[in-house]
Amino acid sequence: MEDYNKNPKDYNAPMHSAEHILNQTMVRMFGCGRAFSAHIEKRKSKCDYRFGRNLTPEEILQVEKKVNGVIQSNVPVTESFLTRSEAGQRFNLTRLPEESGDSIRVITIGDYDACPCSGIHVPSTKEIGMLKIISTDWNDGVLRVRFKLQ
Helix (H, G, I), strand (E, B) or coil at 46: strand
Q: What would the pLDDT profile of 90-102 be if each residue is shown by its tens digit?
A: 998 887 777 778 8
User: What are the E-state strand segments in 1-150?
Assistant: 37-39, 45-50, 77-83, 103-109, 113-116, 131-139, 142-149
How far is the C-alpha of 58 from the C-alpha of 143, rounded, in Å? Answer: 16
Q: Which fold has domain 13-149?
A: Threonyl-tRNA Synthetase; Chain A, domain 2 (3.30.980)
Whether residue 1 has pLDDT greater than 90: no
Q: What would the pLDDT profile of 56-85 be if each residue is shown by its tens digit?
A: 999 999 999 999 999 999 999 999 999 999
The Cα-based distances of 97 to 14, 37, 41 in angstroms read: 23, 14, 21
How far is the C-alpha of 54 from the C-alpha of 76, rounded, in Å? Answer: 32
